[in-house]
Chain A
Amino acid sequence: MRLSPTGALRHSGNLFAMALDVVRTIPRRPFQAREFIQQAWFVASVTILPTALVSIPFGAVIALQIGSLTRQLGAQSFSGAASVLAVLREASPIVTALLIAGAGGTAICADLGARKIREEIDAMQVLGIDPIHRLVVPRVLASMVVAVLLNGLVSVVGVAGGYFFNVVLQNGTPGAYLASFTTLAQLSDLWAAEVKALVFGAIAAIVASYKGLTAQGGPKGVGDAVNQSVVITFMLLFVTNFVMTAVYFQVVPQRG
């Protein structure tokens, strides 16, 4: 790849243009239902198990950290509240995002990249079919839906993992843990987390599709595209996460 001062700017512009194209194309009929279901199933199947396996230790680590902290402060009754808050607000959207980008996004990028270098995408365009409409939109929607569902999964598994470690391993009291659940966290935290997951899913799929559709230079090009798509997605996700969190705290009144 040739480095040029305007290169980064041009790529960001093209990426953004494609995101707009996707948004503009979403309402266009006929909706590719078959592709959407296949992709949703595919993304779900590659992400569910790793997500569950990652979220158990994640919940555990939070429980351990908070458990010892609250014991030092003599606020054991709050350990449940703090751990739910941490899992629900931050851990679950981030874990979801990492997994969607790392497992789903790479698969999408590699798939589209391979099609691009085999001239399948060109053939499709020549056959009068818009790849954005036929391939990208179903993937973006599928990844958004799966991200929202995964976020729910991560929250449940994370909280359950936290409960297990706090109550069984650190001898916390189950009653206190459960009773303090809603002292800090509130329902709007869950909604905010779901919205985050929705946005992260869209970003991961759009970046992956963009990188896949612009892959060039043979099989190595596809490898590079996958690599770049993961890096770019992660950077975008963390920035977006920060912005959305900041906005959330301004908009929604907090408890306590």
Chain B
Amino acid sequence: MGVEICVEGLTKSFGHQVIWQDVSLTLPAGEVSVMLGPSGTGKSVFLKTLVGLLKPDRGCVKVAGRDITRLREHDLYEVRKLFGVLFQDGALFGSMNLYDNIAFPLREHTRKSESQIRRIVLEKMDMVGLIGSEGKLPGEISGGMRKRAGLARALVLDPEIILFDEPDSGLDPVRVAYLNQLIVDLNAQIDATFLIVTHDIASARQVPDNIGLLFRRELVMFGPREQLLTSDEPVVRQFLNGRMQGPIGMAEEKDAAQVEQELARLGDMDRKARHVGNDMTPRLLPSPGITRPPRWEAIARRESELHRKEAADA
């Protein structure tokens, strides 16, 4: 069973530059959450703060009831064993081949025999489609493969919480689709708590239970997927639709008058679009072969009802 992460009043700054302030949210146990935000809004910093790699200025991060920001070094290393983290570039150890990379956490933390380790490592490599590349060095493979290997390494210790730092950046659309399916399948199988940091809207629409949006040094909104996809908040609508009209500008933010003007022009178009009902993207469900836990059964039922209703409306 996954573990709940509770973030309260988190603030982080580097020098005088505030990255984000007063971020409060709860990642419910066993659910998939996505943290969205334009580039440079400190999404990765947020992720690193969650695992205690960076210390926040204020606020607390409670994992399984323990405040990560106040733990002693030794206890922190213990709590971190609950986490599996997929870093942006995979963060594989350059001096080891893929097999040793994935076996590394097992060799360091468990007393399993080499044959047991071999079984687990090959199982995880199969899961991410890397069978046959055991002997390759991280420098010899493509970015997508590094990412998948990083995911396999994050999974070997059966973590309760899995954090993904931009799993879809630098991957082709087909691989992104496979990766999203893999994330959903994993969630159905191991029941861990997932947090995906990304700026890929398509994934954010299909995959999660909850969505959060970081912008302008604060958490604009965090809530169930339906709530954000149908939200009228200009920032949320702009980001989820990936368009230029709205408060988010190329450099940072635009002035208020310009935003008003753009939104007014958009208004009519928007209402028409809403009427057609393309706000709700169908949700990605676990692959057919996977036994669904009750939570996913409920989600699947709700989805099919929703679409039956939509079909009837049309």
Name A's B-contacting residues (CB within 8 A). 114-115, 118-120, 122-130, 134
Contact of B89 among A115, A118, A124, A134 (CB under 8 A): A118
> CA–CA, A6 to B92, complex, Å?
35
Q: Is the CB of B94 within 8 A of A130?
A: no
- In the bound complex, residues from chain B placing their C-beta under 8 Å from that of A134 are 108
CB distance from A172 to the nearest CB of B (A): 51
Q: Is the CB of B80 within 8 A of A126?
A: yes
Q: Is the CB of B92 within 8 A of A128?
A: no
**8 A-B pairs with least C-beta separation:** A123-B91, A119-B91, A128-B81, A126-B85, A128-B80, A128-B77, A119-B87, A127-B105
| Count: A-B pairs, CB below 8 Å | 53
B residues 40-88 with Cβ under 8 Å of A?
A: 48, 51, 53, 73, 77-78, 80-81, 83, 85, 87-88
CB distance from B76 to the nearest CB of A (A): 9
User: Is B104's beta carbon under 8 Å from chain A?
Assistant: yes
Name B's A-contacting residues (CB within 8 A). 48, 51, 53, 73, 77-78, 80-81, 83, 85, 87-89, 91-94, 104-105, 108-109, 150, 153, 157
Query: Could you jot down 5 A-B contacts, CB within 8 Å?
Result: A114-B94, A119-B88, A127-B104, A127-B153, A128-B77
CB distance from B30 to the nearest CB of A (A): 21
> CA–CA, A129 to B78, complex, Å?
9
Q: Is the CB of A125 within 8 A of B92?
A: no
Contact of A120 among B77, B80, B92 (CB under 8 A): B92
Q: Is the CB of A122 within 8 A of B91?
A: yes
> CA–CA, A139 to B85, complex, Å?
27
CB distance from A214 to the nearest CB of B (A): 14
Q: Is the CB of B51 within 8 A of A126?
A: yes
**Majority DSSP secondary structure for residues of B touching A:** mixed
CB distance from A228 to the nearest CB of B (A): 20
- In the bound complex, residues from chain B placing their C-beta under 8 Å from that of A119 are 87-89, 91
Q: Is the CB of B93 within 8 A of A127?
A: no
Most chain B beta carbons < 10 A, residue from A115, A119, A122: A119
> CA–CA, A129 to B77, complex, Å?
7
Q: Is the CB of B53 within 8 A of A127?
A: no
- In the bound complex, residues from chain A placing their C-beta under 8 Å from that of B73 are 130
- In the bound complex, residues from chain B placing their C-beta under 8 Å from that of A129 are 77, 108
> CA–CA, A115 to B91, complex, Å?
9
> CA–CA, A122 to B92, complex, Å?
11
> CA–CA, A129 to B105, complex, Å?
9
Q: Is the CB of B109 within 8 A of A128?
A: yes
Quick one: closest B residue to A126, CB to CB? B85
Q: Is the CB of B109 within 8 A of A123?
A: no
- In the bound complex, residues from chain B placing their C-beta under 8 Å from that of A128 are 77-78, 80-81, 105, 108-109
Q: Is the CB of A127 within 8 A of B80?
A: yes
CB distance from B43 to the nearest CB of A (A): 15
CB distance from A60 to the nearest CB of B (A): 40
- With A122-B48, A126-B51, A128-B109 given, name 10 new contacts (CB 8 A): A114-B94, A115-B93, A123-B85, A123-B87, A124-B93, A126-B83, A128-B77, A128-B78, A128-B108, A130-B73
CB distance from B186 to the nearest CB of A (A): 18
Quick one: closest B residue to A30, CB to CB? B108
Q: Is the CB of B91 within 8 A of A130?
A: no
Q: Is the CB of A126 within 8 A of B53?
A: yes
> CA–CA, A115 to B93, complex, Å?
8
- In the bound complex, residues from chain B placing their C-beta under 8 Å from that of A114 are 94
CB distance from B215 to the nearest CB of A (A): 25
> CA–CA, A120 to B94, complex, Å?
8
- In the bound complex, residues from chain A placing their C-beta under 8 Å from that of B77 are 125, 128-130
CB distance from B20 to the nearest CB of A (A): 20
CB distance from A143 to the nearest CB of B (A): 19
Known: A118-B89, A120-B93. A125 touches B81 (CB 8 A): no
CB distance from A3 to the nearest CB of B (A): 13
- In the bound complex, residues from chain B placing their C-beta under 8 Å from that of A118 are 89, 91, 94
- In the bound complex, residues from chain B placing their C-beta under 8 Å from that of A120 are 91-94
> CA–CA, A129 to B150, complex, Å?
16
> CA–CA, A126 to B48, complex, Å?
9
Quick one: closest B residue to A134, CB to CB? B108
- In the bound complex, residues from chain A placing their C-beta under 8 Å from that of B94 are 114-115, 118, 120
CB distance from A137 to the nearest CB of B (A): 15
> CA–CA, A118 to B51, complex, Å?
18
CB distance from B245 to the nearest CB of A (A): 35
> CA–CA, A127 to B163, complex, Å?
12
Contact of A122 among B81, B87, B157 (CB under 8 A): B87
CB distance from B64 to the nearest CB of A (A): 15
CB distance from B209 to the nearest CB of A (A): 24
- In the bound complex, residues from chain B placing their C-beta under 8 Å from that of A130 are 73, 77
> CA–CA, A119 to B93, complex, Å?
9
> CA–CA, A124 to B81, complex, Å?
11
